[in-house]
Chains A and B, each alone.
Chain A
Amino acid sequence: MSVEPELLALLPRLRRLARTLTGSAATADDLVQATCERVWAHAEDWVPGTRFDAWAFRILRNQWIDWARRSRTEGYPEPVDERTDLVGEWGEKRAMDKLILDDVRKAIDALPAEQREVLLLVCVEDFSYGEAAQVLGVPIGTVMSRLARARKRLNSAVEAA
């Protein structure tokens, strides 16, 4: 069975997740291309009737981790849940009269990658906590703690703006 229809339909969302992970449009496109190749190479592993998007997202994420490990660019695999030095950046937010969504975007971009990705999966892609945990390969509790932390940071950013 060909995965081409599913893969074509998923491309825009794959690219959105890739951009969320990489923060770069060009790198994201390369990541999606590499993901497509892997999807084709392992197409027989996908079980029809299961979520193709979750399966492909997992492949994309694993590909990105491989790249990050090799290039040591973003330090992505490093756990950041306990890194307190990443937490206090909102204190420097400039005062603004009015909240605009640009500020939310900036706040999202400033999140650690592993918080950005869970934010996208749950709040935008509407994955359940359990589905997101499967994509990310972490326990549900980890998904929830990362997600709660990300959303509290966003809220702090909104209030500081």
Chain B
Amino acid sequence: MNEFIPSDEVLMAYADGELDASVAHALEAAMMTDAALVGRLVVFLRSRRLVRAVYAIEGLGPVDEDLAFAARARGRDARPIAKAPPARPKGEPWRAWLRGLGWAPVGAFVGALALLVVLQPWRPQVSGPFATLESGEASALMYQLTSGDTAELQQGRLRVMSTVEMKGGGVCREVNLESPEANTEAVTCASPGRPWRVLLASRVAGGPTDAFTPSSGSHPADSFFQHNEAGARLTGQDEQRVLTRLRESHETGT
């Protein structure tokens, strides 16, 4: 009688479903009469399950804003490759901009919300919603449009959903960019001395729509505003006053 004594690698490959069928059949036959083989197999079945459980519990975690910035830094501010030995880079435009706004919790929260960005099925495109919303054309419109207004951009229809004042004097606007390819919800913010920058964006299902729907409290923007203790949504003269003040600040460089 030929005794089949599989190696650890063979047992593991069987546990992982990577063993050739012929060898797998031989192994199954051997296990019918050899309980020790089953015990050795359990080592590999259990170890995979435990490792997966550990990583599943830990989760992937939020992505730091620096990493999201690095991943989409092309075409924006260039940043040199980190050098060994590793050291925390300083003065990234993204982080500096956040500091300039004076919102301590924003950085951490943007990091958490970055998942909302990275988990969206973005379509490959040379000029994406970030570039569009931070363009000169869109930035200029940010001073002019009030909530509910729309404007046609080359890349799609821009709609302003709401406007809030942030602690520290910044202004954030919840906007929607509709194009034939995608419908993007975003929060773009500015403060005296700081231009409009997109802090949060997510692609939403449903495509373009003509209906203006005020923010309902169920969007990522609402969580962003709530987490950062934004003021109430501005309307009418209050909204225009804040936008005018911001525009004048940018024009005079103060």
Residues of A with Cβ closer than 8 Å to B? 1-5, 7-9, 11-13, 15-16, 26-27, 29-34, 36-38, 40-41, 66-67, 70-71, 73, 101, 104-105, 108, 119-120, 122-124, 128-129, 141, 144-145, 147-148, 150-152, 154-155, 158
User: Of B123-131, B156-164, B189-197, B227-235, which binds chain A?
Assistant: B123-131
**Chain A residues, Cβ within 8 Å of B12:** 144, 147-148, 151
Q: A73-B85, A148-B12 are in contact. List 5 more A-B contacts (CB 8 A).
A: A15-B67, A30-B82, A36-B67, A124-B52, A151-B44
Decide yes or no whether B211 CB sits under 8 A from chain A. no
Judge whether B44 and A37 touch: CB under 8 Å.
no
Does more than half of chain A's interface fall in helix, strand or loop, or is it mixed? helix
**Chain A residues, Cβ within 8 Å of B71:** 4, 7-8, 11, 36
- For residues 67 through 83 of chain B, which have their beta carbon under 8 Å from a beta carbon of chain A? 67-68, 70-74, 79-82
19 contacts between A and B (CB under 8 A): A2-B125, A5-B122, A5-B123, A11-B63, A11-B118, A13-B60, A15-B67, A30-B82, A30-B88, A31-B86, A32-B70, A33-B89, A36-B71, A40-B74, A73-B85, A101-B54, A148-B9, A151-B12, A154-B51
Report, nearest first, the 4 A-B pairs whose CB atoms are least far apart: A12-B60, A151-B47, A5-B122, A67-B84
Q: Complex Cα distance A124/B53, Å?
A: 9
Expressed in whole angstroms, the minimum distance between the Cβ of A32 and any Cβ of chain B is: 5
Q: When A11-B71, A151-B44 are in contact, do A29 and B81 touch as well, CB less than 8 Å?
A: no
**Chain B residues, Cβ within 8 Å of A66:** 84
Decide yes or no whether B16 CB sits under 8 A from chain A. yes
Give B126's nearest chain A residue, CB to CB: A2
Residues of B with Cβ closer than 8 Å to A? 8-9, 12-13, 16, 18, 43-44, 46-48, 50-55, 57-58, 60-61, 63-64, 66-68, 70-74, 79-82, 84-89, 114-115, 117-119, 121-126, 128
Judge whether A104 and B67 touch: CB under 8 Å.
no
**Chain B residues, Cβ within 8 Å of A70:** 84-85
Expressed in whole angstroms, the minimum distance between the Cβ of A76 and any Cβ of chain B is: 12
Q: Complex Cα distance A150/B89, Å?
A: 34
Judge whether A151 and B118 touch: CB under 8 Å.
no
Judge whether A33 and B82 touch: CB under 8 Å.
yes
Q: When A123-B48, A158-B46 are in contact, do A11 and B68 touch as well, CB less than 8 Å?
A: yes
Q: Complex Cα distance A151/B125, Å?
A: 43
Judge whether A8 and B122 touch: CB under 8 Å.
yes
Q: Complex Cα distance A12/B89, Å?
A: 20
Judge whether A34 and B48 touch: CB under 8 Å.
no
Q: Complex Cα distance A151/B48, Å?
A: 8
Among A29, A36, A151, contact of B73 (Cβ-Cβ < 8 Å): A36
Give B85's nearest chain A residue, CB to CB: A71
**Chain B residues, Cβ within 8 Å of A9:** 118-119, 121-122
Give B62's nearest chain A residue, CB to CB: A12
**Chain A residues, Cβ within 8 Å of B16:** 122, 129
Among A33, A71, A148, A151, contact of B67 (Cβ-Cβ < 8 Å): A33
Expressed in whole angstroms, the minimum distance between the Cβ of A17 and any Cβ of chain B is: 11
Judge whether A37 and B79 touch: CB under 8 Å.
yes
Among B82, B87, B88, B117, contact of A8 (Cβ-Cβ < 8 Å): B117
Give A38's nearest chain B residue, CB to CB: B81
Judge whether B63 and A104 touch: CB under 8 Å.
no
**Chain B residues, Cβ within 8 Å of A123:** 47-48, 51-52
Q: Complex Cα distance A161/B53, Å?
A: 17
**Chain A residues, Cβ within 8 Å of B125:** 2
Give B127's nearest chain A residue, CB to CB: A2
Q: When A26-B88, A30-B88, A34-B82 are in contact, do A8 and B55 touch as well, CB less than 8 Å?
A: no
Judge whether B122 and A152 touch: CB under 8 Å.
no
Judge whether B50 and A33 touch: CB under 8 Å.
no
